[in-house]
């Protein structure tokens, strides 16, 4: 990373510390088309959104703005619609027969249900991490190469580079660089979940949706995945569904509390956990129900 300075005499390096400069450069390189300063504050805006599974209304008039390059946590008791909301943002609910929606979801200002909006393009921009690690039953390398391949990158050198960069981003490269040909299913659960995050990165998503990403992991692995999320929010926007209140308060900047298909309260995490406005939120976070 610093080889550019290697030849220079030490005296030439006056001024700001080197590390800061390289970190910024790196951030710019990964961040893709929109430089930090110009990107709008909101990456996802949900407007009056309703979702029905047949006759059952699972989401009721949801309104929320998700902030870019921050971690947003969604909490709430089982069956309140957290996963449904998350899966609405990348239109995975399209695959469920009998689903009807009303209202709008804007990603980067564009209506994802609008005319000419393609799920394929949307899902390239919006990656998803599932509750149970679900790497493909292929090699580590093939898992990482899948994204570039389906989106039209076939040059070997480009794919190799993408594989390495993705694995480095989730701190798996050193562990796995000699095991790229091994089956992804032979990895530990934590490694599998990291791989599932890593394989999204080569197609340069802006938003990562994580549905209880740590619920299959032990506490130590959970802690490390949380650290990874913290690191990744420099370059990505993250929405994480969790049952674990400590996790929400530890990792997130904003928190939404859902109950029976409604988004009861949304705000800064510190605010939600210390001064909730709604008594139902307070009941939930103090463990009175759920």
Ligand X SMILES: Nc1ncnc2c1ncn2[C@@H]1O[C@H](COP(=O)(O)OP(=O)(O)OP(=O)(O)O)[C@@H](O)[C@H]1O
Q: Which residues bind Mg ion (CB under 5 A)?
A: 83
Candidates 272, 198, 256, 229; CA nearest to 69 is 229
Q: Applying CB under 6 A, which part among 6-14, 51-59, 61-69, 249-257 lies near ligand X?
A: 51-59
- Residue 38's φ and ψ, nearest 5 degrees, are -85, -20
Among positions 72, 83, 255, 281, the unique one binding ligand X when judged by CB under 6 A: 83
Nearer to other proteins, 102 or 150 (CB): 150
Q: Which stretch binds other proteins (CB under 8 A): 34-42, 104-112, 121-129, 266-274?
A: 121-129
Residue 53 within binding range of other proteins, rule CB under 8 A: no
Nearer to other proteins, 12 or 95 (CB): 95
Partner touching 53 among other proteins, ligand X, Mg ion, none, CB below 5 to 8 Å by kind: ligand X
Q: Does 56 bind ligand X (CB under 6 A)?
A: yes
The residue from 68, 124, 204, 254 that contacts other proteins (CB under 8 A) is 124
Binding segment (CB under 6 A) for ligand X, from list 73-81, 170-178, 191-199, 262-270: 73-81
The rounded Cα 71 to chain-centroid distance in angstroms is 8
- What is the smallest separation between the CB atom of 90 and ligand X, expressed in angstroms? 14
Neighbours of 204 (CB within 10 A): 18
Q: Does 96 bind ligand X (CB under 6 A)?
A: yes
HEC letters along the chain: CCHHHHCCCHHHCCCCCHHHHHHHHHHHHHHCCCCCCCCCCEEEEEEEEEEEECCEEEEEEEEEEEECCCEEEEECCCCCCHHHHHHHHCCHHHHCCCEEEEEEEEECCEECCCCCCCHHHHHHHEEEECCCCCCCCCEHHHHHHHHHHHCCCCCHHHHHHHHHHHHHHCCCHHHHCCCCCCEHHHCCHHHHHHHHHHCCHHHCCCEEEEECCCCCCCHHHHHHHHHHHHHHCCCCEEEEECCCHHHHHHHCCEEEEEECCEEEEEEEHHHHHHCCCCHHHHHHHCCCCC
14 vs 120, which CB is nearer to other proteins? Answer: 120
The residue of the chain with the least Cβ separation from Mg ion equals 83
Indicate which single residue of 82, 194, 199, 254 sits in contact with other proteins (rule: CB under 8 A).
Answer: 199
Q: Kindly tell me which of 98 and 219 has the beta carbon lying closer to other proteins.
A: 98
Residue 82 binds to ligand X (criterion: CB under 6 A): yes
Q: How many residues sit close enough to other proteins to count as binding (CB under 8 A)?
A: 31
Q: Is residue 81 a contact point for ligand X (CB under 6 A)?
A: yes
Instruction: Work out how close the CB of 13 gets to other proteins at its nearest, in angstroms, rounded to a whole number.
Output: 43
Integer CA distances (angstroms), 9 to 5, 12, 13, 20, in order = 8, 6, 8, 20
77 binds other proteins (CB under 8 A): no
Q: Does 183 bind other proteins (CB under 8 A)?
A: yes
Distance of alpha carbon 285 from alpha carbon 272, whole angstroms = 9
Using CB under 8 A, list all residues that contact other proteins: 90, 92, 95, 119-124, 127-128, 130, 132, 134-138, 142, 146-147, 149-151, 183, 185-186, 196, 199-200, 203
Using CB under 6 A, list all residues that contact ligand X: 53, 56, 58, 76, 78-84, 96
């Amino acid at each position: 990373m610093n080889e550019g300075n290697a030849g220079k005499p030490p005296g030439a390096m006056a001024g700001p510390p080197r590390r800061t400069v390289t970190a910024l450069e790196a951030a710019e390189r990964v961040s893709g088309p929109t430089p930090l300063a110009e990107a709008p504050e909101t990456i996802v805006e949900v407007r009056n959104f309703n979702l029905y599974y047949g006759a059952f209304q699972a989401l009721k008039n949801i309104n929320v703005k998700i902030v870019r390059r921050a971690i947003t946590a969604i909490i709430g008791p089982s069956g309140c619609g957290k996963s449904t909301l998350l899966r609405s943002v990348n239109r995975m609910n399209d695959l469920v027969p009998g689903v009807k929606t009303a209202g709008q979801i804007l990603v980067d200002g564009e209506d994802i249900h609008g005319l000419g909006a393609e799920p394929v393009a949307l899902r390239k921009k919006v990656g998803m991490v599932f509750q149970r690690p679900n790497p493909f039953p292929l090699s580590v390398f093939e898992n990482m190469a899948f994204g570039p391949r389906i989106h039209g990158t076939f040059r070997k050198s480009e794919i190799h580079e993408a594989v390495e960069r993705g694995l480095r981003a989730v701190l798996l490269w050193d562990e796995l660089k000699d095991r790229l040909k091994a089956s992804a299913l032979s990895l530990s659960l934590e490694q599998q979940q990291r791989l599932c995050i890593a394989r999204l990165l080569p197609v340069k998503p802006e938003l990562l949706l994580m549905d209880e990403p740590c619920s299959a992991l032990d506490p130590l692995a959970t802690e490390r995945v949380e650290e990874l999320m913290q690191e990744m929010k420099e370059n990505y926007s993250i929405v994480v569904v969790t049952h674990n209140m400590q996790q929400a308060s530890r990792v997130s900047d904003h928190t939404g509390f859902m109950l029976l298909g409604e988004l009861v309260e949304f705000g800064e995490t510190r605010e939600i956990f210390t001064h909730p406005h709604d008594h139902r939120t307070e009941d939930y976070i103090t463990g009175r129900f759920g």
